[in-house]
Amino acid sequence: METTENNNQEQHFTMPRIGDKAPEFKAITTQGEINFPSDYKGKWVILFSHPADFTPVCTSEFMTFAHLEQKFDNANCKLVGLSVDGLYSHIAWLRTIKDKIKFNGMENIEVKFPLIEDIIMNVAKKYGMIQSGEHKTQAVRAVFFIDPEGTVRALIYYPLSLGRNFDEIYRALIAMQTSDKFNVATPADWVPGKDVIISPAGSCGVAEERMSNTDELECEDWFFCTKPLDKDMVLKEIIKN
């Protein structure tokens, strides 16, 4: 009985949460074997899953990610895809994308980032990508933002029928990097060039000082203060051309 209980525990995975270390795995991909996340130390990673090869929504997403790969790379971010299909299916699908598929003005798109083979769903289960309420054998459209120290910083899940918004994925990446670099928070719909939020005052004295400081801060109230952050300075610190 004890052996059975241990085996059952080995098969149980808790979905990674913000602040957790990204679960480790070794996997075969279309770009060779990877050790995750150790191979990407010092870089941000977007690990994302898709339901299946040779499906239209997934095809549109992979073309878009591949088209934007250099843009993400300039922001020190690598892309790693996953589905529960096999390696040969992955290779055939990516060749079909390059040779035959046109979408949204894109064609002849070559996917150069790794696409993980996950037939036994080992990685998908570790990352909570298999959600039985949606599908028992296909991964939902999960997006994990993992920082240079291998920590999960954000995650987004989409249902099978909904293609992802890539402007938002990139915006979130740049916003998190900006928060880290300049020790600020970013308000709703923030993009580089807009004002950022500073942390709430921790004492009455600081609150009073902020409310009277009109040089740099704009305070709606003691707890809600913003300040300008130059767009060029943000891009210079984060984007590497």
Residue entry with tokens 């970013």: 186
Report helix angle 166-182 to 56-74, nearest 10.
30
- The values of phi and psi at residue 79, to 5°, are -110, 140
Of 187, 141, 146, nearest to 165 by C-alpha is 141
* Residue 141 known to bind ligand: yes
Residue entry with tokens 């994925």: 169
Q: How many CB atoms lie within 10 A of CB 180?
A: 13
- DSSP SS3 for 48: strand
Report helix angle 87-100 to 56-74, nearest 10.
80
Calpha distance 72→44 (Å, rounded): 9
H helix runs in the chain, sequence order: 2-10, 56-74, 87-100, 122-126, 166-182, 204-212, 231-238
For the annotated catalytic residues, the residue numbers are: 58
Paired sense of beta strands 115-117 and 77-83, if any? parallel
- Residues of the binding site for substrate: 141
